Amino acid sequence: MALGMIGSAIASLATGFSHLAWWKDILVIVAILLIISGPSMIMAWMKLRKRNIAPLLNGNGWAVNASSTISIPFGATLTDTAKFPVLKLQDPYAKKGLPVWKRVCISLAASVVLIIGLWLGNLLAWAKLPSPLFHKNKATTEQVVTIDTPVSTDET
């Protein structure tokens, strides 16, 4: 009985939602999002206005039990863009690619396999390279066989 009531409630919500204009559908979705996440956004805004970074660090996995207030110079260092050293832009531990000679060998091997596959598949016949698998001797002239002696058909 409870499942029937839940199903009928969902069905009535869906029919009510489908009878709204398209712009009202968007307003309903925005209102639902604000009802769900609005109180937590207000609480987060109030905590950030206290200029306390401890809840942010705690939410990121850092166990900071004391209140860490953000002064103006400390806030400026947190919002400053990091500047990398001029000579250290390349990561020495980055994954290195294949050497050039290996790339050339792989490309040549793939090309040879492709050409052999085309040749064996008789796709290079237009270039006068017929495949040994499909090469058949075609008759150059027609031969007509005539029989001069009559054939006896004895049916006994």
Would you say residue 8 lies in a domain?
yes
Both 108 and 54 in a single domain? Answer: no
Both 9 and 64 in a single domain? Answer: yes
Instruction: Supply the pTM of this predicted model.
Output: 0.32
**10 Å Cβ neighbour count for 105?**
12
pLDDT truncated to tens, each residue of the chain (156 aa)? 889 999 999 999 889 888 889 899 899 999 999 999 999 989 888 877 877 777 777 777 777 767 777 778 877 877 778 777 677 667 778 888 889 999 999 999 999 999 999 988 888 888 888 877 775 666 566 667 777 777 677 765
Question: 102 with 90: CB under 8 angstroms?
Answer: no
Count of structural domains within the chain: 2
* Domain span at 11: 2-78
Would you say residue 107 lies in a domain?
yes
Would you say residue 26 lies in a domain?
yes
Would you say residue 48 lies in a domain?
yes
For residue 112, give both structure tokens.
């040879």
